[in-house]
Amino acid sequence: MANIGFAFYHIEKGKGKCYNLGHHIDRTPGKEYTYQFADPTKQSNNKNIIVNDYCKMPLNKAINQAIKDRYKGGKKLRSDAIKYLKHSFTGTNKRMHEIFENKNLRIEWAQACLNFIDEEFEIDNIVRFAIHLDEKTPHIHCITVPITYDGRLSAKDIVGNIKNIKNLQTRYAEKVERFGLKRGVNPQLSHSELIEWHKDVREELKAREEKRDALDAEISNLRAKLSSLTAKKVLTDVFLPKKKDKQINELLEKIAELERTNAKNQEEILKMYKGNENQKELLQSVYNENLKLKETIQNLKL
C-alpha cells in the first residue's frame, strides 16, 4: 500500500536581481556554492521544462524580458517593485520518492503542478519550471512574473494576503491528493501525523544550519586569504600591482556573494524556527483534543 504524505507548496515574492537563484535552479557550473546540498552524480536526472522561450534565457534576463513583453501599464516601474514569484512544490520525502520511482506518476504529478500554475498564475507568466532530483527530496522550482490579465505588474493582486495564500495551498493539495499527498499541517491532522511532519521540518532545519555553518567556515577561510594578500600587497605592489589587486577584488566579490547567500539562508532558518514554534502549539492542542475525545468515549462506554 502506498504511503500517505503531505503536500507542500511554498510561494515567495522577489525583487531586484536574482543571479544566485538562477544559478541554483539551473545548476550553473562554477556556481556550486548556490547548490551545496545537490548530489553531482544525480544532476543529470534534473529536468528543465521549456514551457516557453523565456525558459531558455538566464533567469534574470528572462524575468526582465517577460515583464518588458507583457507589461501594459503606462507608468514606469518602481525600482523596488516585486518582479517575480518563487513557487516550490514537493511533499513528504518518502512519498515523493515513491512517486518518482513510477514513471507515469512522476509525469502526472509534474503535470498537475504545471496545471496549477497555469490556472492560478497563467502559463505565459512562467520563466522557469525545473524538476530537481539531485537533492534529498524531489521537488519543482517554478518562477513566474506577476503580470495580471490586463497587463499590470501586481503581486498584490495575484497573490493577495495570507488567507489567500492558505487558500492557494489548499487548492494545490486538492490537485495532488490523488498522488497520496494531502494538505500540510492543519488542525484536523492526527497527533502521529503531526509528529511525522515535525520530523521532516527538523531534518530540513538541520540541513540549513549545516549549510550556514559551512558557509561561515568558507567565509572565514576567504577572509584569512584576503588578510594575507592585503598584508603582502605592500611588498608586491611594485612588481605585480594589477595581479594582486585582481586577486583581492575576486576574493571580496566571492565573500560578498557568500554573505548574501548565508543571510538569505539565515532568514529561512529564523522563519522555520518561528513556524515550528507555532506548530508545536498546534501539536499540543491536537494532543489535548485527542485526550478529551478519549475521555468522552470512555464516559459513553460507562
pLDDT tens sequence for the chain (302 residues): 456 788 989 899 998 889 999 999 999 999 998 998 899 999 999 999 999 999 999 999 999 999 999 998 878 888 889 999 999 999 888 899 999 999 899 999 999 999 999 999 999 999 999 999 999 899 999 999 999 988 999 998 999 887 788 889 999 999 999 999 987 655 444 445 455 555 666 666 677 777 778 878 888 887 777 777 666 655 554 455 555 567 777 778 888 888 888 777 777 777 666 655 555 555 555 555 555 555 554 554 44
Q: Are residues 101 and 204 in the same domain?
A: no
Residue 63 near residue 84 (C-beta atoms within 8 A): yes
Q: How many structural domains comprise the chain?
A: 2
Q: Are residues 46 and 108 in the same domain?
A: yes
Residue 21 near residue 14 (C-beta atoms within 8 A): yes
Q: Are residues 32 and 165 in the same domain?
A: yes
Of 182, 210, 241, the one marking the end of a domain is 182
Q: Which three cell numbers stand for residue 277?
A: 514554534
Of 128, 154, 182, the one marking the end of a domain is 182
Q: Are residues 218 and 282 in the same domain?
A: yes
Q: Are residues 296 and 175 in the same domain?
A: no
- Say which amino acid occupies 172: Y
Residue 106 near residue 100 (C-beta atoms within 8 A): yes
Output the domain CATH number for residue 49.
3.30.930.30
Q: Are residues 170 and 285 in the same domain?
A: no
Q: Are residues 213 and 289 in the same domain?
A: yes
Q: Are residues 76 and 134 in the same domain?
A: yes
Q: Are residues 30 and 104 in the same domain?
A: yes
Q: Are residues 35 and 104 in the same domain?
A: yes
Of 158, 182, 206, the one marking the end of a domain is 182
Q: Are residues 125 and 149 in the same domain?
A: yes
Q: Are residues 27 and 140 in the same domain?
A: yes
Domain that includes residue 73, residue range: 5-182
